[in-house]
A = this chain, B = another copy of it.
Amino acid sequence: MIKAAIVGGTGYTGVELLRLLSKHPQVEVTVITSRAEAGTKVADMYPNLRGHIDLVFTEPDVAVLGECDVIFFATPHGVAQNMMSGLMNTKARIIDLSADFRIRDVPLWEKWYNQPHGAPDLVAQAVYGLPEVNREAIRTAKLVACPGCYPTATQLGYLPLIENNLVDPTRLIANAASGASGAGRQAKIDNLLMEISDSFKAYGVAGHRHLPEIEQGLRDVQPAGAAPVALTFVPHLLPIIRGIHATLYATLLDANKVPDLQALYEARYANEPFVDVLPAGNLPQTRSVKGSNVCRIAIVRPQQRDTVVVLSVIDNLTKGASGQAIQNMNIMFGFEETAGLDVVALMP
């Protein structure tokens, strides 16, 4: 059993980590911190954990954290980067669910997040935690930067097309929709049931922070000589709690020489425990992954025209955050990659 700490455990990614880790056969959560709720029992805040977790929120303390084997940061961006220098020399390995170490280009990060980075020297040491791309580097990483929710669904959907340079990388369009829990547990008018249930809207059309992360991730897998990826990314807000649905569009570079796309996708993900390519003719729905770490994907070429459409769904709190963090942990510690994550989605 390794010892795990969760920093910033009152949010939705925190409770999702606890839901999954409480049943993980090789992990014991020993520390969970929250400045605001220090002293509160976790199960008083999240009654689904009654009988499963008997922890109390504590103030974050670097000395205590450093004695754990793994630390999950489930904090808003800006927090992990400022605690990181004190933790890099401890035995703890760190998995940051926030955006702090996802983007390697520090000025780009600072532009999109509109603040100076607190640990720019450490950014290069972080491994981007998308196992389907970086599994080997993750094994030995000291610090893993977990991908965002939209970037996970979008990259997994585009990977086979981009890796094989089958589509025009400069005209990608990712139309994505997220459940409301992606906004976090924040007391804002915009997150009230009365404001967002029974409605649907786009947001951040002029620019969303996940755009540079997706572009970086896709550029990383392009073959030499390909024009660099440029993406139009439009997120939307769904009146549900969990789920991301990405509808990805790309233009075939050569509509006369298109490989069997279904076979291509199936081969690319044949050994991936958490990517499920649906049989041809099936389309994914977010409920089919609710509470599970799976990404389900379909690829369609409508009317045999030159635009292909990829549909990709995940649970934003699981494969889009806490489940993927645990998948990374499993890889880092040599556990079975599916340990603690072999969960059937809740449906209906």
On A, residues with C-beta under 8 Å from B are: 12, 15, 18-19, 22-23, 44, 46-52, 171, 173, 175, 177, 180-181, 183, 185-189, 191-203, 205-207, 230, 232-234, 236, 238-243, 245, 247, 249, 251, 276, 278, 282-292, 294, 296, 298, 300, 302-303, 305, 307, 309, 311, 313, 317, 342-348
Q: Which 7 A-B pairs have the closest CB atoms?
A: A201-B285, A199-B287, A48-B345, A48-B347, A47-B288, A175-B175, A193-B193
- A234 and B19 CA atoms in complex are apart in Å by 31
Question: Quick one: given A22-B344, A239-B239, are A284 and B206 in contact (CB under 8 Å)?
Answer: no
A175 touches B247 (CB 8 A): yes
Which one, B205, B294, B307, contacts A300 given CB within 8 A? B205
Stoichiometry, as copies per complex, reads 4
Is the beta-carbon distance between B201 and A245 smaller than 8 angstroms? yes
Residues on B with beta carbons closer than 8 Å to the beta carbon of A302: 205-207, 232-234
7 new A-B contacts at CB < 8 Å, known A48-B347, A181-B348, A317-B348? A19-B346, A48-B290, A48-B344, A51-B294, A173-B173, A201-B284, A249-B249
Known: A206-B302, A245-B202, A290-B346. A239 touches B240 (CB 8 A): yes
Residues in B whose Cβ lies below 8 Å from that of A199: 240, 243, 285-287, 290
Are A19 and B344 touching (Cβ within 8 A)? Answer: yes
Contacts known (A205-B309, A232-B302, A285-B201); A171 close to B251, Cβ less than 8 A: yes
Instruction: Determine whether the beta carbon of B232 is less than 8 Å from that of A309.
Output: yes
Is A285's CB under 8 angstroms from B47's CB? Answer: yes
Which residues on B sit within 8 Å (CB–CB) of A19?
344, 346-347
Which residues does chain B contribute within 8 Å of A198, judged by CB atoms? 198, 240-241, 287, 290
Contact across chains for A239 and B283 when beta carbons are under 8 A apart: no
Q: Is the CB of A348 within 8 A of B241?
A: yes
CB of B173 within 8 A of CB of A249, answer yes
In the complex, which residues of chain B have a beta carbon less than 8 angstroms from the beta carbon of A291? Answer: 291, 346
Contact A206–B300 (Cβ < 8 Å): yes
Could you tell me the distance in whole angstroms from the C-beta of A114 to the nearest C-beta in chain B? 16
Write 5 A-B pairs (CB below 8 A) sorted by A numbering: A47-B296, A183-B194, A199-B240, A205-B309, A233-B302
